[in-house]
């Protein structure tokens, strides 16, 4: 009995010592915070010894005089190479940078088990889960993401659910399980998922679709199960699967591995219930390629489109990332938002980062206009998709979309105009006019004709404003739609002699309608050029 007790105390002491040792390098050392700009000027002066990069908020920096410091992680690609070229040691750590604490915690846990708290084993496990969960809670919140009010609203719903799933269950509400975020790369889908977890103080578990699809059959599926197991163990949280299209492509025969992985994901998703407090978020930029099984009820049945930011959103994003950067007096965020029409959030962030680096190189106190100009250029070159839209293109797209909207309003009064924008959508169109039409069983000839006119609205506006020699290829989707309606009218409904004739009639009507309302057309187009996106009430105010 006595011996046993001594043994326990000894183990406890050892574990305590271990904890101390583990904590020393991480915690007891005075850590200085330096701004990103200062970091680069130190780097230029050759005063930095090493940088520890991870997926975390901050980098760990060690100066040549031994000082330990941290600096904000810019999360920008190519920085590592720059540092290496400056002869700075770079280490990349996976996962958390509180590895010291983690080690200590594991040691403590191990110790507790060894001392023989056997009857409390279950409690020990629970505690561990709680600690691990804390480790995984992101520090960022919605403050760090600039998204549209609509998107934020949907996300806030999810926060409520994560914080108190019981409340929803009590009322018998079907709780959300899977949410698909879709839109072009760099628009903040990952950031948003992380911020959701941070906002709800819930742990975050992430993986990329590409990680699941391994060479060996079965590995992907077991990784999926592992991921869900971790989340359940932590008592719930946000599971984020980036590039879900890598596993969720429409099934093609002959890819066993992907098939198995997808099935494992579907099984896991039907397996957890609301009380687990798990929400799965997935991101893709190709909604059209996803397997229908993924989109069914109880799986990813909520979808949120994250589009390229419009002018107002760009201003917000720039503000978020300018927070810790000394911008010179003459630099107007509003003007820069106006100039960066096709930029994604990631590109805006990297533009500001590039400007900060330039300022640091020059060793001045502020980022000046020239830094911004050069940063702008460096972001626009070498991009695979167009990032610069000319004033002419902007004008053409604005008139095109305004044309659709105006005719819809005039000829389909039951349709509601929801949104008008010149920012390209993830569906590939240059801009779009979105309207919702009531579902009907029967359509009159007049209504079908009006639909054709509305679809012609874009082309007709281009022709009126710029002349028939300058109509563009931007209307190809519209023309396809018109052709389909005309064909159906002729062949199925016998509403006309020849489809071509019907199309001609529609175009003439569309042109006529726009000419009659030329001033409204101009008003809409000008507002679109100014604001890039118009919402329902703004559209109707202009009409
Ligand atoms: P995605 O997952 O859509 O490809 P990310 O979330 O990885 O995009 O975005 C990359 C980086 O770009 C973010 O870490 C952030 O710095 C910046 N960013 C993108 N969108 C936004 C946004 N809406 N608000 C603030 N920052 C953004
Ligand atoms: Zn169109």
pLDDT digits (tens, 9 = 90+) for 480-532: 999 999 998 888 888 888 989 999 999 999 999 999 999 999 999 999 999 99
Residue nearest ligand 1's atom 5 by CA: 188
Q: Is 195 in the pocket of ligand 1 (CB under 6 A)?
A: no
* Residues 8, 115 contacting (CB under 8 angstroms): yes
Edge to edge, the sheet with strand 416-421 lists 432-436, 416-421, 533-535
Closest ligand (CA of 138): 1
Closest ligand 1 atom to 147 CA: 23
Please give the distance, rounded to the nearest whole angstrom, from the Cα atom of residue 478 to the centre of ligand 2. Answer: 5
Structure-token pair, residue 521: 């057309």
Residue 79's pLDDT band (boundaries 50, 70, 90)?
confident
Summarize the confidence of residues 336-356 as an average pLDDT: 93
Closest ligand (CA of 432): 2
In the block, which residue shows the tokens 């969720």?
Answer: 248
Residue 6's pLDDT band (boundaries 50, 70, 90)?
low
Q: Poorest-confidence range of 113-122, 185-194, 409-418, 510-519?
A: 113-122
Q: Which residues contact 204 (CB under 8 A, 6 or more apart)?
A: 136, 137, 138, 193, 194, 197, 198, 237, 238, 240
Catalytic residue among 56, 199, 315, 401: 401
Closest ligand 1 atom to 185 CA: 4
Helix 345-362 crosses helix 36-44 at what angle (to 10 degrees)? 50
Q: Residue 127 has what pLDDT?
A: 30
Q: Residue 411 has what pLDDT?
A: 94
| Residues whose beta carbons lie less than 5 angstroms from ion ligand 2 | 458, 478
> Nearest-CA neighbor of 397 among 342, 317, 315?
342
* Residues 321, 379 contacting (CB under 8 angstroms): no
Q: What is the rounded average pLDDT for all residues in the chain?
A: 81
List the Cα angle 138/77/30 in 5-degree steps: 55
Q: Is 147 in the pocket of ligand 1 (CB under 6 A)?
A: yes
pLDDT for 42 beyond 90: no
Q: Which residues contact 396 (CB under 8 A, 6 or more apart)?
A: 462, 466, 472, 474
In terms of C-beta density within 10 A (0-12 exposed, 13-18 middle, 19 or more buried), how is residue 287 classed?
middle
Q: Is 453 in the pocket of ligand 1 (CB under 6 A)?
A: no
Q: Poorest-confidence range of 80-94, 154-168, 345-359?
A: 80-94
Structure-token pair, residue 14: 């050892």
DSSP letter for each residue of 206-243:
EEEHHHH--SSTTHHHHHHHHHHHHHHHTT-EEEEEES
Q: Residue 318 has what pLDDT?
A: 96
Closest ligand 1 atom to 183 CA: 3
pLDDT digits (tens, 9 = 90+) for 312-329: 999 999 999 999 999 998
Percent of the chain with pLDDT over 70: 83
Summarize the confidence of residues 211-237 as an average pLDDT: 83
Please give the distance, rounded to the nearest whole angstrom, from the Cα atom of residue 336 to the centre of ligand 1. Answer: 18
Q: Residue 116 has what pLDDT?
A: 38
SS3 159: helix
Please give the distance, rounded to the nearest whole angstrom, from the Cα atom of residue 136 to the centre of ligand 2. Answer: 46
pLDDT for 36 beyond 70: yes
Residue 251's pLDDT band (boundaries 50, 70, 90)?
low
Structure-token pair, residue 413: 């009064």
Percent of the chain with pLDDT over 90: 36
Please give the distance, rounded to the nearest whole angstrom, from the Cα atom of residue 197 to the centre of ligand 1. Answer: 15
Closest ligand 1 atom to 191 CA: 6
User: Which residues are paired to 305 by β-bridges?
Assistant: 182
Pocket test for ligand 1, best of 243, 314, 346 (most atoms within 8 A of CB): 346
Ranked by mean pLDDT, the top range of 10-14, 31-35, 341-345 is 341-345
Q: Is 188 in the pocket of ligand 1 (CB under 6 A)?
A: yes
> Nearest-CA neighbor of 365 among 37, 74, 47?
37
Q: Is 401 a catalytic residue?
A: yes
Report in angstroms the alpha-carbon separations of 137 from 56, 229, 231, 317, 326: 11, 17, 12, 23, 29
Q: Is 189 in the pocket of ligand 1 (CB under 6 A)?
A: yes
* Residues 352, 322 contacting (CB under 8 angstroms): yes
Q: Is 342 in the pocket of ligand 1 (CB under 6 A)?
A: no
Q: Residue 115 has what pLDDT?
A: 42
SS3 200: helix
pLDDT digits (tens, 9 = 90+) for 290-303: 888 888 888 898 89
Q: Is 187 in the pocket of ligand 1 (CB under 6 A)?
A: yes
Measured distance CA(433)–CA(409) in Å, rounded: 11
Q: Residue 464 has what pLDDT?
A: 94
Measured distance CA(46)–CA(35) in Å, rounded: 17
Summarize the confidence of residues 239-243 as an average pLDDT: 93
Measured distance CA(384)–CA(186) in Å, rounded: 13
Residue 113's pLDDT band (boundaries 50, 70, 90)?
very low
pLDDT digits (tens, 9 = 90+) for 157-177: 899 888 888 888 788 777 788
pLDDT for 97 beyond 90: no
* Residues 333, 369 contacting (CB under 8 angstroms): no
| Widest Cα–Cα separation across the chain | 105
Ranked by mean pLDDT, the top range of 47-56, 283-292, 373-382, 505-514 is 505-514
Closest ligand 1 atom to 184 CA: 3
Summarize the confidence of residues 470-478 as an average pLDDT: 81
Q: Residue 94 has what pLDDT?
A: 54
- The DSSP H or E segment spanning 419 is strand 416-421
Structure-token pair, residue 522: 């101009």
Q: Is 74 in the pocket of ligand 1 (CB under 6 A)?
A: no
């Amino acid at each position: 009995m006595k011996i046993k007790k001594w043994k326990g105390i000894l183990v406890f002491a050892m574990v305590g010592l271990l904890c101390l040792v583990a904590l020393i390098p991480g915690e007891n050392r005075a850590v200085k915070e330096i701004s990103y700009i200062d970091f680069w000027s130190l780097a230029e002066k050759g005063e930095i010894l090493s940088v520890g990069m991870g997926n975390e908020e901050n980098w760990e920096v060690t100066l040549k005089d031994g000082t330990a410091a941290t600096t904000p992680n810019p999360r920008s690609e190519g920085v590592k190479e720059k540092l290496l070229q400056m002869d700075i040691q770079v280490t990349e750590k996976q996962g958390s940078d509180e590895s010291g604490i983690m080690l200590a915690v594991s040691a403590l846990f191990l110790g507790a088990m060894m001392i023989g708290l056997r009857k409390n084993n279950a409690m020990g496990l629970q505690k561990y889960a709680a600690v691990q969960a804390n480790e995984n809670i992101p520090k960022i919140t919605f403050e760090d993401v600039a998204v549209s009010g609509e998107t934020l609203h949907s996300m806030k719903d999810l926060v409520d659910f994560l914080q108190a799933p019981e409340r929803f269950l009590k009322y018998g509400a079907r709780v959300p399980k899977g949410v698909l975020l879709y839109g072009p790369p760099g628009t903040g889908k990952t950031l948003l998922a992380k911020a959701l977890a941070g906002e709800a103080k819930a742990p975050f578990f992430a993986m990329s679709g590409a990680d699941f699809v391994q060479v060996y059959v079965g590995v992907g599926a077991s990784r999926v199960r592992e991921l869900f197991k971790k989340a359940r163990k932590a008592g719930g949280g946000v599971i984020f699967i980036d590039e879900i299209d890598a596993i969720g492509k429409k099934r093609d025969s002959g890819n066993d591995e992907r098939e198995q992985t997808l099935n494992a994901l579907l099984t896991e998703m039907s397996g957890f219930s609301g009380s687990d407090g798990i929400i799965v978020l997935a991101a893709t930029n190709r909604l059209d390629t996803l397997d229908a099984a993924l989109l069914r009820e109880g799986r990813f049945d909520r979808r949120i489109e994250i589009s390229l930011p419009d002018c107002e959103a760009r201003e917000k994003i720039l503000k978020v990332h300018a927070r810790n950067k000394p911008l010179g007096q003459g630099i107007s965020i509003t003007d820069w938002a106006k100039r960066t029409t096709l930029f994604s959030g990631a590109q805006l962030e990297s533009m500001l980062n590039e400007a900060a680096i330039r300022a640091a190189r020059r060793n001045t106190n502020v980022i000046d206009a020239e830094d911004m100009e050069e940063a702008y250029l460096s972001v626009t070159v070498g991009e695979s998709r167009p990032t610069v839209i000319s004033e002419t293109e902007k004008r053409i797209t604005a008139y095109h979309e305004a044309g659709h909207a105006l005719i819809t309003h005039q000829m389909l009064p039951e349709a509601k105009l929801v949104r008008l924008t010149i920012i390209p959508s993830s569906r590939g169109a240059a801009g779009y006019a979105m309207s919702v039409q009531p579902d009907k069983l029967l359509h009159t000839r007049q209504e079908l004709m009006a639909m054709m006119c509305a679809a012609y609205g874009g082309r007709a506006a281009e022709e009126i404003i710029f002349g028939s020699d300058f109509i563009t290829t931007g209307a190809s989707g519209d023309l396809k739609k018109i052709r389909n309606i005309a064909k159906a009218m002729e062949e199925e409904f016998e509403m006309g002699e020849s489809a071509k004739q019907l199309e001609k009639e529609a175009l003439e009507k569309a042109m006529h309608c726009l000419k009659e309302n030329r001033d409204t057309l101009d008003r809409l187009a000008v507002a679109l050029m100014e604001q890039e996106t118009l919402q329902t009430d703004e559209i109707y105010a202009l009409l």
